[in-house]
Amino acid sequence: MLKVLLAGLGVRGRHWAQVIERSERAELLAYVDPSADELARAAAEFGERPAFASVMAALDSLDDVGALVLANPPMGREGIVRAASARKLPMLIEKPLALSLAEAATILRIVENAGIPLMVGLNFRYLAVTQATKRLLARQTVGNPEFARFTYERWRDGRRPDLNDYPLTMAHPMLWEQTIHHFDLMRYVYGQEPLRLQCQTWNPSWSMYAGDSNVSALIDFDGGLRVNYQGTWQGNWAAPGFEWRTDCTDGIISQQDEFGALYYARRDDAELTAVPLPPHERWISETRALFAAFVAHVVDGAALQCSGRDHLMSLAMLEACIQSSASGGGAAIDEVLPEI
Ligand SMILES: NC(=O)c1ccc[n+]([C@@H]2O[C@H](COP(=O)([O-])OP(=O)(O)OC[C@H]3O[C@@H](n4cnc5c(N)ncnc54)[C@H](O)[C@@H]3O)[C@@H](O)[C@H]2O)c1
């Protein structure tokens, strides 16, 4: 059993508590959160366990920690990573690894110099719909992808008590908190890397976010694919809108819900064909699969998935978006990627 220290017990940390508890290969050893209220709530919901106000305090007291799952907000993680690296602890850290490419690169240097694995919490890769899309592309059901449109429209009320509120004041909340998943999915599903992009970010007049909640980007990938991306957290209808449509040489693939609803059609088909998907428990099923991959790496030596190094490329896409939007011109990915 992998003994896991869980740090950060907010919205995402509570998903993690359920996932670790339900794993047959791991044990939830102790909780960390600076908030006494969150520690008390976790004890009430998931059972009494040793509880600490910081990762450092936990590591000073516990000598049998096998891994750290870190679900605090993505600010100020460097000190925590240093302390865990000194203890040679494998880490699973929530996306985005940091709120700048430079800070993410520093974190990566720390773990790579210590020779320990760092996996990033890119749970959307593990959705059945994502895996099914990859299979459609691998089997060339509708041929090879040439262009795509990824649309994500959400009225995200950042003041809702069941959502985190730190994005209300951060710079570029849409990019760092949400678009990061979408860009990561593009790279993962298409198996292509971004070369350059053009982007504009802005806020509608009614936005409750201090930083930009709208992102519009045209992305060129190294296999010749072009993706048109539009994402918003302040779409002005509470019903969500989602479509990820890929136009391929013989037809299209269309995903119509963030968690499922996958279809394809050949050019002359009168209707879309639905792709059957297994039942899904939102935030839990795919996070269980992500966690299983982490445990398989740490315990069985399976290949590391969603590595910190791989994540840098998706973070570079965000940074390129910010530069492009500020300059009004395009941005090349290799010009923003740091040397590690
Ligand atoms: N992968 C996903 O689908 C997904 C979904 C939601 C959030 N997230 C990510 O999870 C992370 C946390 O988001 P959230 O929604 O749970 O935020 P949240 O604000 O709801 O919770 C964060 C918790 O971390 C605690 N915390 C603050 N500093 C800490 C520290 N130094 N050590 C330990 N705990 C600390 C806070 O007290 C709070 O309880 C973010 O990186 C976010 O992007 C990922």
DSSP states of 267-331: TT-SSPEEPP-----TTTHHHHHHHHHHHHHHHH-PPP-SBHHHHHHHHHHHHHHHHHHHHSSEE
**Ligand 1, pocket-test mutation among 72, 97, 170, 177, most atoms within 8 A of CB:** 72
State the closest ligand 1 atom to the C-alpha of 9, by its place in the atom list counted from 1: 39
Share of the chain above pLDDT 90, in %: 98
Give residue-wise pLDDT tens across range 259-314: 999 999 999 999 999 999 999 999 999 999 999 999 999 999 999 999 999 999 99
Are 248 and 238 in contact by the 8 Å Cβ rule? The answer is no
Pocket residues: Cβ below 6 A from ligand 1 = 7-13, 32-35, 38, 55, 71-74, 94-95, 121, 123, 164, 166, 177
Query: Quick one: which atom of ligand 1 is closest to the CA of 34?
Result: 37
Predicted pLDDT of residue 76: 87
Phi then psi dihedrals of residue 117, to 5 deg: -75, 145
Residue 203 pLDDT class (50, 70, 90 cuts): very high
Distances in Å between the alpha carbon of 87 and those of 40, 64, 339? 27, 11, 26
Amino acid type, 79: G
Are 116 and 85 a contacting pair, CB within 8 Å?
A: yes
CATH topology of domain 2-124+286-306: Rossmann fold (3.40.50)
* Average pLDDT of every residue of the chain: 97
Provide the residue ranges of all domains of the chain, joining segments of one domain with +.
Answer: 2-124+286-306, 125-278+315-334
Residues 174-179 have a mean pLDDT of: 98
Cross-strand partners of 266: 251
- Take atom 39 of ligand 1 and give the residue whose Cα is closest: 10
How far apart are the CA of 241 and the centre of ligand 1, in A?
Answer: 25
Q: What is the pLDDT of residues 62-112, one digit of tens each?
A: 999 999 999 999 998 999 999 999 999 999 999 999 999 999 999 999 999
The yes-or-no answer to whether 2-124+286-306 and 125-278+315-334 have a common fold is: no
- Decide if domain 125-278+315-334 falls under CATH 3.30.2350.10: no
pTM of the model: 0.97
